[in-house]
Amino acid sequence: MKFAKIPMATINRLSIYLRNLDELMINDVEVISSERLAKQCGVNPAQIRKDLAYFGEFGVRGVGYRVKDLYAQIQEILGLNRPWNMALFGVGNLGSALIRHANFLKHGYRFVAAFDLDPEKIDKTLPNGLLIQHVDRFEEVVKERNVEMGIIAVPPASAQSVANQLILAGINGILNFSPVQIQVPDCCRVENVDFSIKLDNLAYHISSTTT
């Protein structure tokens, strides 16, 4: 689906709404007011209305949102009404943890391939049944399994070269767990996740305010 330029912050919040609606569905809530939904998501009700207004009319005045409908609509907006195939690069501590983190699956993200360089790891099977393959087999496997996103969990020095391979293979979405800033062309989007950096921010905050 294409829409006018939507602020990234709105897309982020839609994600948050989606996860909270998911939780409401689990708890069999059928209808929710924008006030209650806002409270649960930690935003104000006007924000929810404004975010949704980019995409059309949602909710029923005086009633609120039908949880299932809004969930389905946001899913469609974000492109989450279908599964996404991901390949993992780097099956170290973090990589293995990610594979185990079942939440991914819940939201339609699934690992369809896992790559490493370490001969000790190649041809081993992960708990989810995936075979760890040598990164040399990447191009072939990407096509075969229709990989759409690359998850980079390799050491920093290798992150850019993995990204280069992904881009050459036409993959336009990268989630980078490696503590390095990856350079990519405009067609490609990189999202960085580095909780060590976030912890460092906290350490800096606490150190600089308490001493």
Query: Based on CB atoms, which residue is closest to its own copies, 168 or 197?
Result: 197
Q: Minimal CA–CA distance to 99: which of 127, 138, 133, 134?
A: 127
What would the two tokens of residue 130 be?
């995936």
Residues 116-145 that bind its own copies (CB under 8 A): none
For its own copies, the binding residue among 11, 63, 131, 168 (CB under 8 A) is 11
Quick one: which segment of 53-61, 76-84, 119-127, 130-138 binds its own copies (CB under 8 A)? 76-84
Query: Based on CB atoms, which residue is closest to its own copies, 61 or 103?
Result: 103
For its own copies, the binding residue among 66, 68, 107, 134 (CB under 8 A) is 107
Cα dihedral angle (9, 11, 16, 21), rounded to 10 degrees?
Answer: 140
Binding mask 25-64 for its own copies (x = CB under 8 A): ---------------xxxx---------------------
Query: Based on CB atoms, which residue is closest to its own copies, 7 or 60?
Result: 7
For its own copies, the binding residue among 50, 110, 137, 205 (CB under 8 A) is 205
What would the two tokens of residue 162 be?
């993995």
Binding of its own copies by 79 (CB under 8 A): yes
Please, are residues 99 and 164 in contact by the beta-carbon 8 Å criterion? Answer: no
Contacts of 49 (CB under 8 A, 6+ apart): 34
3-state DSSP assignment of residue 125 = strand
Quick one: which segment of 7-15, 61-69, 114-122, 133-141 binds its own copies (CB under 8 A)? 7-15
Please, are residues 145 and 85 in contact by the beta-carbon 8 Å criterion? Answer: yes
Quick one: which segment of 1-9, 110-118, 121-129, 135-143 binds its own copies (CB under 8 A)? 1-9
Q: Find the farthest-apart pair of alpha carbons in the chain and give their distance in angstroms, rounded.
A: 62
For its own copies, the binding residue among 104, 117, 122, 126 (CB under 8 A) is 104
Instruction: List, as own/partner pairs, every contact residues 45-49 make where C-beta atoms lie below 8 angstroms and the sequence separation is at least 24, other chains included.
Output: 47/13, 48/13, 48/17
